[in-house]
Amino acid sequence: MKEWWLQVALLAVPLLAVYLHLPPPQPSPALRSWKSAGSFFTYKDLNIFYRDSSGAVGSSDVVVLLHGFPTSSYDWSKIWEGLTQRFHRVIALDFLGFGFSDKPRPHGYSIFEQATIVEGLLRHLGLRHQRINLLSHDYGDTVAQELLHRSLRPSCPFLPLRIPFSFVSTAPGVNSSLECGQHPLPNKDFPFSILQYINQRKKHRERWLGALTSTSVPLHLIYGPLDPVNPHPEFLQLYKKALPTSTVSVLDDHIGHYPQLEDPTGFLNAYLNFINSF
């Protein structure tokens, strides 16, 4: 219980700072280095930050990383090098409103728009018809589910995505009662408009859960049992019931909601074992 309140407090501090219009802290040297290694592309006159690293020689596989709330692509920094040793290209972006990407206000942030931005990035990088592996976490899980839903449509402008999915730590939409923030939130300026994704998850639950249950794409969950957002063992039981064909990796008991940061080696091994299994 203490850890749950600690995470809520840590989340509340940056949100309060934004609400009070306090100046943001200067990026650390590590963040400045992360930014200098990336680039920007334009989506509707808005700048979207992304990183695109070439990796393994002889592999044509591409992995796209979708970060969670309220963080950024830097969440993947501890496993970045390990992924480049397996994939030909490793790509991550900061969603609109996050990280180094633009943060327009007021703005009607939505999961649908974030999915369109991911499609725009793939088009910008010339990967529209390339096999894509998606590795997602938290907020990014829902974006990934929307992309999967679009790939199932006959009229989809992209070729059907053949994407090995890996949901990291959480699988929103499997059971909304296990998600945080159950109360309706006002549709106001940032940050509250970004938080509308919680209401969007509930409103479009059938669409996004349906994408998971309808697909033949391999699905995998990497789960930290100490995750306060998706408590153990209830969440794992519900996930397996909803998606019985999905495989699951359960990390050590002390791993929580950010397994890629808390246990990068264990997380990377779990993901690569999944990828190498087909």
The predicted-structure confidence for 107-120, as pLDDT tens digits, reads as follows 999 999 999 999 99
Q: Is the pLDDT of residue 249 over 90?
A: yes
Determine the Cα–Cα distance for residues 134 and 119; give it in Å rounded to an integer.
Answer: 12
- Distant-in-sequence, close-in-space partners of 185: CB < 8 Å, separation ≥ 6: 192, 195, 196, 198, 199
Q: Is the pLDDT of residue 2 over 90?
A: no
Q: In terms of DSSP bridges, do strands 39-43 and 46-54 run parallel, antiparallel, or are they unpaired? A: antiparallel
Determine the Cα–Cα distance for residues 271 and 29; give it in Å rounded to an integer.
Answer: 28
Q: Is the pLDDT of residue 187 over 90?
A: no
Average pLDDT rounded to a whole number, residues 154-163: 51
The predicted structure's pLDDT at residue 165: 61
Determine the Cα–Cα distance for residues 104 and 189; give it in Å rounded to an integer.
Answer: 9
Average pLDDT of the chain?
A: 84
* CATH code of the domain made up of 39-171+191-276: 3.40.50.1820
The predicted structure's pLDDT at residue 28: 93
Q: How many CA atoms lie within 13 Å of 70's alpha carbon, on the beta-carbon side?
A: 20
Determine the Cα–Cα distance for residues 211 and 179; give it in Å rounded to an integer.
Answer: 19
Among 51, 90, 43, 42, which Cα is nearest to 74's? 51
Q: Is the pLDDT of residue 246 over 80?
A: yes
Amino acid at 13: V
φ/ψ (deg, to 5) at 50: -150, 160
Structure pTM? Answer: 0.85
Average pLDDT rounded to a whole number, residues 206-232: 93
Q: Is the pLDDT of residue 11 over 60?
A: yes
Q: Which residue has the tokens 């998706």?
A: 230
Percentage of the chain exceeding pLDDT 70: 78
Amino acid at 169: S
Using 50, 70 and 90 to split pLDDT, how confident is the model at 131?
Answer: confident
What distances in angstroms separate CA 242 from CA 28, 76, 197, one per listed residue? 41, 28, 21
- Distant-in-sequence, close-in-space partners of 220: CB < 8 Å, separation ≥ 6: 164, 165, 166, 167, 246, 247, 248, 249, 271, 274
Q: Is the pLDDT of residue 9 over 80?
A: no
Q: Is the pLDDT of residue 166 over 80?
A: no
The predicted structure's pLDDT at residue 190: 46
User: Across 177-234, where does the E strand assignment appear?
Assistant: 219-223
Among 197, 209, 128, 127, which Cα is nearest to 167's? 209
Average pLDDT rounded to a whole number, residues 202-217: 92
The predicted structure's pLDDT at residue 5: 62
Of 5-9, 149-153, 157-161, 249-253, which range is least confident?
157-161
Q: Is the pLDDT of residue 273 over 90?
A: yes
The predicted structure's pLDDT at residue 96: 97
- Decide if 148 contacts 173 (C-beta within 8 A): no
Average pLDDT rounded to a whole number, residues 239-251: 94
